[in-house]
Structure 1
Amino acid sequence: MDPVIIAGAGPVGLTLALALARLEVPSVVLDDGPGRDDQRPARTVVLREDTVALAERLTGTPLAPAGVHWAGWRSMRRKQVTREVAFDAGTPAPLHLAQHALNGALRAAAVRHRLVKVAVESRLDGVEQERSGVTAHTRGPRGTWWRGSFLVGCDGPRSTVRKLQDIRFPGRTAVERYAVAALRAELPWEDEAILHRTPPWRQSGPPAAEVVGRPLPDGVWRLDWLLPQGKDLVTPELLVNRVRETLAGWCDGTTPPYELLDTGVHVVHHRLARRWRVGRVFLAGDAAHLLGALGTQGLDEGLRDADNLAWKLALAWHHGPHKALLDSYQRERRTAVAARLRAADQVLPLLRGGGGLRAYVPGSARGHDTMLADAHLGRGMLGAPGTYADSPLTPADHEGQASVDTPPGTPVADVRVTAEDGTFVPLRDRLGRGALLVVLVAPGTGVWDRKHWVSAGIMPRLAAAVTALPCRAELLVAEEYPGAGAHTVLLVRPDGHLVTALSGVRPADLYAAAETALGGPPRTAPSTETGAEAGATAGSR
């Protein structure tokens, strides 16, 4: 079987390659660069708990030393603190790190893996596909033809893959613009991020005046200033003035010593590809969507694209293409990203406008600050991970369904579980292995050795039901799960989203739910659908 071809060696492309390798699927990553990443301190990413865990599973190394888990979050308006959040074990902090540090860790892991080939100086310029596979051509010093089973375009906003497949990329250009600086300085808030709206030293400025400060290791900070609408040139003098007045405003009127490391202008676009699949060709990351206003992080969503697609491509690679399962990638991920874009576009006029509701509704400014902070922190409608409640892989409600705090299609809570070898591990550690997870909630098991309860009560019957499932599955036991009663059985997808919760051991319901999570019964007859027809079907969803 031919490898999966991945166009683009950024974080999304390398994450997909490593996720496939973990599932014993080989890949070729086409890197149009020299195989190293530019060191840009002002180009950083903020990862939430789920995407940090994903990257660490794939690289086998902790990311924390390369970045900063924020100690807290502070929202300010003028001179007033409107919100403070302290992060602890019960409130996981986002991780802020330079993008080249993340990509370097992913690249190092990819180079070490026997199932990942990174082809440098290989710029894609042609794609041909037929029912049995995909052929790609690259130009450059190492230009050649590549044969693959599938091809995934992770090649950024100007995606060649998207253009070759003639996929439209509608949306809005320059939704917001930010002047960005990375500098080393001592600020009053150690490892604490700050969002300052309408700071007092900018009272004469535009109504949307706003600056965000995010800490990085070694006393480095990334500062982002929201720029007025328009295309006014951001000169070095303007940027230095912004740095000095901001540092002085935060440090009692005196500009502290600082070292300017990097600068830039970040332009936020909102775009969404019409189709994410054309036959055996897929899009992921910035090739499929652009979002970033109001604190939303496009890379977070790109990594979730890779996590969603990897296990589905792996099942198709090992067992033959399953149209419904592969189609679900576009249905789930495009819907989730579209919801975030829609929410941002609806809220943006309220947050950035100088009048409207803010002039008439008491306390609306504080509510707007909360919404914006939630977007930066990965919470609420602007920042929380998407759900797949309307996915074709989510079973319909049924009599044996149990109620838990995690609705079907939502990422599961990271509770401690007992694995089949008797070890205690976080549930998230068992994700990404290609297996469905069956979790039995059994209070009291944590204080007993596994050998004492593995053959008692309902365990033998549940173990038999798990063995009979239509896909490889792993049986885990948790002492508790939010909102779940004793003997609740959870069925979890390989990417960590809940399929269903059952009240007790119900082999028939468990089997039916597992079959639905895999896209339904596979076709018994070979498909005669061509690549173009498959793309048209995916685009109509």
Structure 2
Amino acid sequence: MDPVIVVGAGPVGLALSLALAAQGVPTVVLDEGPGKDEPRAARTAVLRPDTAAFVERLGCATVRDEGTRWTGWRSMRRKQLMRHIEFGARPVESGPLEPGAGSGQFGPGPAESGPAESGSVESGSAESGPAESGSEVPSPLHIPQHALARGLRDAIAALPDRELVRLVPDSRLDSIEQDAHGVTAHTRGPGATWWRGSHLVGCDGARSTVRKLLGIRFPGRTAVERHAVATLRTELPWPGEALLHRQPPWRGVGEEVTARPLRDGDWRLDWLLPPRGDLVTPDALVSRIRETLAGWCGETPAYDLVDTGVYTLHHRLAKSWRVDRAFLAGDAAHLLGALGTQGLDEGLRDADNLAWKLALAWHHGASEALLDSYQAERRTAVAARLRAADQSLPVLRGAGGLRTYLRGGGHDALLMDGHLGRGPLGAPPAYPHSPLAPPYAEAHTSVGTPLGAPVADVRVTAPDGTTARLRDRLGRGRLLAVLVAPGTGVWDRRHWMTAGVMPRLVEAVGALPVEGEVLVTEAYPGAAAHTVLLVRPDGHLAAAFGGVRPAELYAAADAVRGGAPERVHSDRTADVN
């Protein structure tokens, strides 16, 4: 069968190709560039815990190494996740670190206060939300985007079957043709040729050629926010700890500054710029750097300027994400990034969502419902994120009485939650109204995870006796049936595999209409003993049953695959209205 054609070799396209390879689906990745990524220290990516785990599962050593290097990759108390500086606020001492804690990406570091001249440091202030002692929250990971892309390319090079992913540099797409059985694409360049694929996915960025060739509109807002950015090597009073400084008092700095720790003593600093301000000259940027560092440190410390830039954020959402056998993902489908939201995170979630559906279609055929569910789930989730940001912008960025009246309330907490990967701006998406949601059955039961939300990463045991985190079993194209069975951790496997409901569950999973895997966990949040969780290949909860119910389990699995496969017709058209 023909491979899947992936257009674009950025992090989203590379991740999608690796996710498909993990499920035995070959891809051809058409790279408009020369096959390598230019290092830019000022162009960095924030990975939330779920997307970092997804990329690490694909074999990206960059994320694994960074997660090991930065102890903030571990779970920390919410009140220690990020410093929030507010001029004129009352100083509050930070609490002690968790055992083993150190520096981290948006994570805790040594509890030190900044100088009085620069405002005071608060942990768990009114602006940052109430402190929740003991609540565990994983920290986001902040890495250079070129390092992420390089790690993904290295993972492709390390695949046991090198034929699964074919990278084709210097290949610019200029034509797409579709029929009932596949997609034909033409590229120009040194090796201009035609390519044949089962499906095609446009991961080719904001100026997507795929989107234009499909005739899909890309409406939205231009220049939602502008930021100046500098990467520099220096020492700040909060080693390894990310910083959000609202309303700094220093002249010419602006109304918001963020600082994020990178490796090797580097920092990325971002200054919010006026929407339609003047161009930021090199001299003006150096003045911002010196004034900001002096405000935080009392005087300007020694620093080495590594890289600079100015970027403009747009909010756009493609009208359609699927036209027959062609799909959009990443920046080709959506642009967002204001108020702490992260476009790359959403692009990686696109890849995770689409990969298992394309793999099922490639191996067994797929229903229209399954393929349509990609747009229904992901476009809805991104649209909700965009709405939350657009509704918050007038309050957070506007001037006058409304903002003054709301200071210290929930809106600044909303902003910081966006940076930390929580709340409506940053939390992993849920798909409660997915077209793949199983019909209600009396056997359904409630657990601590809402239906359609990502499951908790509990420790599980497979029938062969191996143990792992639940996230480690994802991405293989299989449904996971997780039995909550307290005490199995201390039982001999020979006993619990043949005891109780296990034989019946193994038989029921073996009869599912798609491949499944049985796992056992000692406990799951909010779940009673003998609860069975049905988990999608991308880690979202499809259903939970009170006990082993073969008929209901089969019906739920059939719903998750979108029903029986059917012939996919080629009479779709893009939404061009």
Following TM superposition, by how much is the alpha carbon of 1:70 offset from its aligned partner in structure 2, in angstroms? Answer: 7.2
Given candidates 502, 508, 513, the residue that maps to 2:551 is: 508
The answer to whether structure 1 residue 519 and structure 2 residue 557 are counterparts is no
User: Is 2:288 aligned against 1:239?
Assistant: no
Q: Distance in 1 between matches of 2:300 and 2:165?
A: 49
Do structure 1's residue 497 and structure 2's residue 540 form an aligned pair?
yes
Q: 1:136 corresponds to which residue?
A: 185
Would you say the 8 A contact 1:70–1:215 is kept in 2?
A: no
In 2, Cα distance between the equivalents of 1:356 and 1:387? Answer: 35
TM-aligned CA deviation for residue 86 of structure 1 = 10
Residue 136 of structure 2 corresponds to residue 90 of structure 1: yes
- The Cα of 1:449 is off from its aligned counterpart by 2.3
User: Aligned pair 1:414/2:452, yes or no?
Assistant: no
1:58 aligns with 58
Structure 1 219/511 Cα, relative in aligned 2: closer, same or farther at 3 Å? same
Q: CA deviation at 1:201?
A: 1.4
Q: How many angstroms apart in 2 are the aligned matches of 1:438 and 1:160? A: 41
Q: What is the aligned partner in structure 1 of residue 262 from structure 2? A: 216
Deviates more, 1:106-115 or 1:278-287: 106-115
Alignment correspondent of 1:178: 227
Aligned-partner SS, 1:91? strand
Equivalent residues of 2:364, 2:565 under 8 A apart = no
CA RMSD of aligned residues (A): 1.9
Q: 1:335 is aligned with what amino acid?
A: T
Find the aligned partners of 1:87 and 1:333 in 2 and give their Cα distance.
34
User: How is 1:353-502 mapped onto 2 (pairs within 5 angstroms)?
Assistant: 353-361=398-406, 364-502=407-545
Q: CA deviation at 1:83?
A: 3.5
1:260-279 equivalences in 2 (<5 Å): 260-279=305-324
Q: Normalised by the size of structure 2, how large is the TM-score?
A: 0.89
SS state at 1:63 partner: helix
Equivalent position SS for 1:316: helix
Indicate the residue corresponding to 2:29 in structure 1: 29
Stretch moving more, 420-429 or 55-64: 55-64
Residue type at the aligned position of 1:443: P
Post-superposition CA distance 1:163-204 (Å, at most 9, x none): 0001000000010000000000001111100000101214x7
Amino acid at match of 1:500: A
In 1, Cα distance between the equivalents of 2:180 and 2:133?
Answer: 51
Q: Which residue identity lines up with residue 154 of structure 2 in the other structure?
A: A
For the 8 Å contact 1:70–1:191, the answer to whether it is kept is no
For 1:117, the equivalent position in structure 2 comes to 166
Unaligned residue ranges in structure 2 (runs of 5+): 73-80, 88-118, 125-130
Separation in 1, partners of 2:165, 2:134: 37
Corresponding letter in the other structure for 2:501: I
TM, length-normalised to structure 1: 0.94
Give the equivalent residue in structure 1 for 2:204: 155
CA contact (8 A) 2:62 2:147 kept: no
Q: Distance in 2 between matches of 1:109 and 1:39?
A: 18
| Residue correspondences, number | 528
Shift of 1:320: 1.9
Amino acid at match of 2:152: L
Letter in 2 for 1:8: G
2:136 aligned counterpart, secondary structure: coil
Q: CA deviation at 1:379?
A: 0.2
Deviations 1:103-160 (A, max 9, x none): 0000111233320000011111111111111111111112111111110000000000
Distance 1:273 1:248 in 2: 44
Counterparts of 1:317 and 1:503, CA distance in 2: 34
- CA apart distance, 1:87: 11
Q: Deviations over 1:276-325 (max 9, x none)?
A: 00011000000000000000110000000000000000111111242110
Give 1:65 deviation, angstroms: 2.9
Post-superposition shift, 1:365?
A: 3.0
Name 1:38's counterpart in structure 2. Answer: 38
Distance in 2, matches of 1:517 and 1:293, equals 33
Conserved 8 A contact 2:62-2:151 = no
Aligned to 1:99: 145
**Overall identity of the aligned pairs, in %:** 66
Compared CA separation, residues 13 and 255, structure 1 to 2 (3 A) = same
User: 1:191 aligned to 2:243?
Assistant: no
Q: Is the contact made by 2:457 and 2:471 (CA closer than 8 Å) also made in structure 1?
A: yes
Alpha carbons of 1:89 and 1:148: their partners in 2 closer, same or farther (altered >3 Å)? farther
Q: Secondary structure at the match of 2:82?
A: strand
Q: Does 1:336 align with 2:354?
A: no
| Separation (CA, whole Å) in 2 of partners of 1:419 and 1:62 | 28
User: Does the 8 Å contact 1:408/1:500 carry over to 2?
Assistant: yes
Contact 2:216–2:320 under 8 Å retained in 1 = yes
Of 72, 84, 87, 1:75 maps to 84
Checking the alignment, whether the CA contact within 8 Å between 1:73 and 1:86 is kept in structure 2 is no
The secondary structure found in structure 2 opposite 1:414 is coil
Q: Distance in 2 between matches of 1:188 and 1:347?
A: 31
User: Residue type of the partner of 1:200?
Assistant: P
Residues 70 and 93, structure 1, Cα contact 8 Å, conserved in 2: no
- How many Å separate the matches in 1 of 2:70 and 2:271? 22
Query: How far off its partner does 1:69 sit?
Result: 4.2
User: What is the Cα deviation at residue 385 of structure 1?
Assistant: 1.1
Q: Take 2:61 and 2:267, find their aligned partners in 1: how far apart are those partners?
A: 24
Relative to structure 2, which stretch is displaced further, 62-71 or 398-407? 62-71
Using the TM superposition, name which of 135-144 and 104-113 deviates more: 104-113
* Cα 1:205/1:243, change in 2 over 3 Å: closer
Counterpart amino acid of residue 81 in structure 1: V
Asked if the contact 1:87/1:93 (under 8 Å) is kept, the reply is: no
Which one-letter code corresponds to 1:334 in the other structure? R
Deviations 1:451-487 (A, max 9, x none): 2201001111111111111010000000000100101
CA distance in 2, matches of 1:358, 1:110: 49
Q: Would you say the 8 A contact 1:30–1:119 is kept in 2?
A: yes
Q: Which runs of 5+ in 1 are unaligned?
A: none
Which residue type is aligned with residue 50 of structure 2? Answer: D
In structure 2, what is the equivalent of residue 350 of structure 1? Answer: 395
